[in-house]
Structure 1
């Protein structure tokens, strides 16, 4: 479950992504174009400490890119190269925003979402002491999940940030499709798929394979 705040961010997520995205090797689009949000989904952090949101973003004429983001209350040690930026949250204060593919909290959450079949987190707003459901902006489903218990994911052993990002841990390999609908030829394993406005057919978003 993801409990959200009605808050302002300065700079906004889109401001951060507009600056950061053109520096990525898998980005396709003009460097000076405004970034648009197509859809987004969230995953649950089992430790309930890190915000985990995956955004589907693109430019007016370019492809859609999948960008997992993690929101932290303090810097992540050793992850300076994966820092998207910092932002001031009107409720929570300073947040450090990271590329999720380099954050171990994201690896744990994604592995659990795929291999246990839980998929995306339900989202709620806290309003006057009661919770209101936030309707999802996309449909996410899981296929091929096994019945075996998932071993602890542990630290990241290797991350290869290409069109299909590879995340390797001691117990699972994760593949994240940076441009959904492309770049996943030959990928296998339990699959997280999604569809959204403008993408009516469900396409693979990520794969997980126990090792």
Structure 2
């Protein structure tokens, strides 16, 4: 489960993305335009230390872009080139925002969703000891559920930043579709999503175990 905070971010996530996205090789849209949030989903970090959120956004009148992010309370060693930016969280303080594809907490979470049907995290707010669940803004579905436990993945040993972005570990290759579109994935081990304005499933990711 993902605990959320009723907090202010300066700069906001969308402001960070408006500056960062045009420099990506897979960017499509209007450079300099505002970034619109279409939907989002989260995965759980087993330690509860790192926020893992994927935003589906659009820059200007461009196509849908998928942007997985991680939020950390301290810099991630060796990940300077994958830093999206820093933001001040009114509850948690300074947060370091990274492209999640290079963060070691993300590949196991994505593989668990794709290969083991782990699904997305339930999001909730807590006030005075009362837990209030926030309805999801989108529905994420794994394409194959054939394992009892999530697969062993390991940290990324190589990330190829393109569309798709390829995350290569010792046990699986994960492909994150940056400009998701309807269609058949190249493998049954895939993740797809819908939301109210997007009733036709979009393929988000797929996996190839070694």
Please tell me whether the aligned partners of residues 167 and 173 of structure 1 are also in contact (alpha carbons under 8 angstroms).
yes
CA distance in 2, matches of 1:171, 1:76: 23
Report the equivalent of 1:21: 21
State the alpha-carbon separation in 1 of the partners of residues 89 and 150 from structure 2.
Answer: 34
Output the CA distance in 1 between the equivalents of 2:150 and 2:171: 8
Match of 2:203 in 1: 204
Matched position secondary structure for 1:156: coil
Deviation at 1:137, TM superposition (A): 0.7
Offset from partner CA, 1:40-84 (integer Å, 9 cap, x none): 000111222110000000034110100000000111111000000
Shift of 1:27: 0.5
C-alpha deviation, 1:151, in angstroms: 4.3
* 1:6 corresponding residue in structure 2: 6
CA shift at 1:111, angstroms? 1.1
Alignment-derived partner of residue 111 in structure 1: 111
Whether 1:70 aligns to 2:70 is yes
Is 1:178 aligned to 2:165, yes or no?
no
Aligned 8 A contact 1:38 1:197 in 2: no
Aligned length: 210
1:187: which partner in 2? Answer: 186
Gapped regions of structure 1 (runs ≥ 5): none
Classify the secondary structure of the residue corresponding to 2:187: coil
Runs of 4+ in 1 over 2 A off after TM superposition: 145-152, 184-187
Partner of 1:121: 121
In the alignment, is the contact (CA less than 8 A) between 1:145 and 1:191 conserved in 2? Answer: no
Bigger mean CA offset, 63-72 vs 201-210: 201-210
Could you tell me how far apart the structure 2 residues matched to 1:195 and 1:6 are?
26
* 1:45-84 matched pairs, under 5 angstroms: 45-84=45-84
CA contact 1:83–1:99 (8 Å) conserved in 2: yes
Question: Quick one: distance in 1 between partners of 2:128 and 2:110?
Answer: 32
Describe the SS at the equivalent of 1:101. helix
- Pairwise CA RMSD of aligned residues? 1.6
Unaligned runs of 5+ in 2: none
User: Residue 155 of structure 2 aligns with which residue?
Assistant: 155
Q: TM-score, normalised by structure 2?
A: 0.95
- Give the 3 Å change call, closer, same or farther, for CA 180–151 of structure 1 in structure 2: closer
